[in-house]
């Protein structure tokens, strides 16, 4: 019998992380670049496609595809192919022994539709023998053994996913998703910079890098000074206020979703959940964000918010733990269903 390798994957709009039972962890930016012509192929060393950060760095020479929007596969053939290529590449990076049987759990947005999950299953089934698609925030909670009286907020590029965990698998009523996440912060920052500094020349990619390096909320943040070209001449700008305003815009919709999950739960346990809010995902690294959430929760009775360690891998680590704990008969049932459909 072939060796069974378990994997946990966080398939994200911006980054895809994988953790395996063989001890491998890696993260890839969720981009695929396809060579435009023979010159492009020569520039890429004879390759037809490149992935992740390399694809972004070569975006002028490739057809760059970011195949996930708001955490789910875009509904077009180019994106579906790019996801298949991305999954194949990520699994290759995990150095799984040849001939292994692969059982995988993939995190998806909390309120991902049936169609969206079906797209993920279809793409992943080419490279895995048996697959589970689970809620991303639940995977974070499961990986940390926070299985009761916990509210998880997973802040990604495309979505902010919230899940209340109370000792069982989450049901639809236990989950919320909103779309003012990392990409929306980027768009808001672009809007503010365009309005306040109309002479500055910049790209969305430049703005995203600025946000990832300087993201902060709160009154006491370090100055953010950057250089943009103005008619080709490098010019310094102080964009502290714009960065703070763009990042702060995530607070209100997230706290409203949190309070909705709290208010619709058993009143005896509401205060416990309010005092055990867990932030995960790349957006949780925004400086001052947990404090901003606590300040916003005061009018609802207060709350305690903490940030997970290793937010980059919290989702994939949790997904792997779910995979390892899943009974064998479940994996076999999936394989049998796929065989019948074939």
The confidence score (pLDDT) of residue 228 equals 96
**Residues in the chain where the model's pLDDT stays below 70:** 1, 111, 113-114, 334-342
Buried b (16+ CB within 10 A) or exposed e, 258-270: bbebbeebeeeeb
pLDDT score, position 53: 94
Cα dist from 172 to 4, 38, 145, 190, 274, whole Å: 31, 49, 21, 34, 20
Cα 335–340–75 angle (5° rounding)? 80
How far CA 13 is from CA of 10, 151, 168, 252, 263, in Å, comes to 10, 22, 27, 22, 30
Helix (H) or strand (E) holding 117: helix 114-124
Residue 339: the pLDDT is: 58
Q: What is the pLDDT of residue 330?
A: 82
Read off the pTM. 0.89
The C-alpha atoms of residue 60 and residue 54 are separated, in whole angstroms, by 12
Can you list the domains of the chain with their CATH numbers?
A: 4-139+313-341 (3.30.420.40), 182-248 (3.30.420.40)
- pLDDT digit string, tens, across residues 22-63: 999 999 999 999 999 999 999 999 999 999 999 999 999 999
Percent composition of the chain: helix, strand, coil (DSSP 3-state, to 5): 45, 25, 30
Residue 232: its pLDDT value, please?
Answer: 93
State the SS3 of 255-304.
HHHHHHHHHCCCHHHHHHHHCCEEEECHHHHCECHHHHHHHHHHHHCCCC
- Residue 338: predicted pLDDT: 62
SS3 29: strand
């Amino acid at each position: 019998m072939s060796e069974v390798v378990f994997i946990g994957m966080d398939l994200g709009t911006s980054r895809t992380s994988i953790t395996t039972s063989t001890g491998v962890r890696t993260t890839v930016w969720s981009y695929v670049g396809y060579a435009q012509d023979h010159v492009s192929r020569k520039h890429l060393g004879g390759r037809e496609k490149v992935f992740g950060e390399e694809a972004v760095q070569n975006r002028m020479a490739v057809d760059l595809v970011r195949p996930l929007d708001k955490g789910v596969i875009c509904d077009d053939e180019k994106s579906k192919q790019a996801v298949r290529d991305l999954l194949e590449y990520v699994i290759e990076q995990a150095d799984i022994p040849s001939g292994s049987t692969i059982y995988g759990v993939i995190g998806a947005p909390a309120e991902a539709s049936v169609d969206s999950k079906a797209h993920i299953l279809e793409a992943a089934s080419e490279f895995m023998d048996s697959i589970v698609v689970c809620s991303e925030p639940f995977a974070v909670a499961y990986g940390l053994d926070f299985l009761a009286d916990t509210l998880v907020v997973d802040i990604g590029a495309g979505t902010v996913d919230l899940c209340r965990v109370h000792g069982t698998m989450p049901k639809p009523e236990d989950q919320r998703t909103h779309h003012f996440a990392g990409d929306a912060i980027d768009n808001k920052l672009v809007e503010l910079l365009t309005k306040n500094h109309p002479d500055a020349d910049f790209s969305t990619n430049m703005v995203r890098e600025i946000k990832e390096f300087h993201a902060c909320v709160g009154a006491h943040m370090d100055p953010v000074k950057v250089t943009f070209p103005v008619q080709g001449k490098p010019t310094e700008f102080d964009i502290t206020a714009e960065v703070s305003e763009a990042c702060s815009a995530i607070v209100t919709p997230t706290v409203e979703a949190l309070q909705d999950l709290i208010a619709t739960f058993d009143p005896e346990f509401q205060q416990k959940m309010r005092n055990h809010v867990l932030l995960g995902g790349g957006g949780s690294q925004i400086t001052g964000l947990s404090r901003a959430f606590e300040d916003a929760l005061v009018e609802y009775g207060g709350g305690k918010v903490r940030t997970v360690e290793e937010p980059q891998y919290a989702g994939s680590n949790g997904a792997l733990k779910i995979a390892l704990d899943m009974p064998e008969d479940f994996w076999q049932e999936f394989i049998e269903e796929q065989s019948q459909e074939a």
